[in-house]
Amino acid sequence: MKRPLVLAGLLGLAALAPAARSQQLNPKAPKLPDGAAEFRDLRYGPHTERNTLDLIVPKSDAPVPLIVWVHGGAWQGGSKAGNNPAFALLARGYAVAAINYRLSQHAVYPAQIHDCKAAVRFLRSNARKYNLNPDAFGVWGASAGGHLVALLGTTGNVKELEGAVGGHAGVSSRVQAVCDFFGPTDLTKMAAQTTVKGPIDHDSPNSPESKLVGGPIQENKEKAAKANPITYVSKDDPPFLILHGDKDPLVPLGQSEILLDALKKAGVEAELVVIKGGGHGGAGFATRENQDKIAAFFDRHLKKSGK
């Protein structure tokens, strides 16, 4: 029997919202496939706590594809130890990594994408050691994590966002597939696109977006543009699968709609699944139909013949 994806408890900007926080699930650690290897707290960079990742690799005679999970938490909370729906893909022959990255109280943007790229470079550099297929890396994240995986998808060739965390210079940080759950994109439009009243004033100097860029978001539009995945969209970006609730009170659906439009205009394969009545996570994301869609998406792009 397939282990259901644990999605109802995914939190991103909801880390600041008590109503959403009350819906969080605390599932037990997943039962690993027989023979799977666990590697905990691998260091990919110098920050003691936040430059770490966990990796689980199923037993296989051949290198396996990898899914990297990036947690949410408004860029100021959360960790790799939280809910990770990618665990469900272990049984399908995927390795699964979960990463920490510096939060906005540690450093402002672009530290967060520097860390994510460093984690990808570390894993690709050590692909042979951990029996990973370096040509089959997918990423999956929710809310703030969705924002960061979208950036990973659109900035594979953007040198100024590589950073120097952890070294491995010259190793690609490109990924081959992106699953984005309700990730912010254009931070300057969050307030204007809001259609469902929520607990966050996105234009406030204390909003998660403002803290991410180091100042009031509407006074830092150039910084916000550099944090926008849409800024970097190009025709060679990997395929995207985006899921977003139409009643999300924290990240407006419009954020995913404008990303979808930009990807399609560039000729990138992209699909947006709108969860009717869905909020910032929730049961609608965990239907069998959506579970199967996500699994099929990664299978199609990470299990290609010869990869």
User: The dihedral of CA 210, 216, 218, 223: what is its sign?
Assistant: negative
Q: Where are the domains of the chain?
A: 13-302
DSSP 43-107: E-SS-TTTSEEEEEE---SS-EEEEEEE--STTTS--TTS--GGGGGGGGT-EEEEE----TTT-
Token pair in block for residue 286: 């965990």
User: For 176, what's the count of Cα atoms within 13 Å in the CB-facing half-sphere?
Assistant: 19
Place of tokens 């880390």: 15
**Planar angle of CA 278, 282, 286, nearest 5 degrees:** 100
The answer to whether the CB of 96 falls within 8 A of the CB of 38 is no
pLDDT at 29: 60
pLDDT at 305: 42
Architecture of domain 13-302: 3-Layer(aba) Sandwich (3.40)
pLDDT at 157: 87
pLDDT at 167: 82
pLDDT at 260: 98
Averages of pLDDT over each 10 residues, the chain, 307 residues = 41 39 41 92 96 98 98 97 94 97 98 98 98 98 98 96 93 98 98 94 97 98 98 98 98 98 98 97 94 98 69
pLDDT at 278: 97
CA 295/CA 230 separation, integer angstroms: 25
What number of other Cβ atoms are within 10 A of residue 231's Cβ? Answer: 16
What number of other Cβ atoms are within 10 A of residue 281's Cβ? Answer: 30
Whole-structure pTM value: 0.91
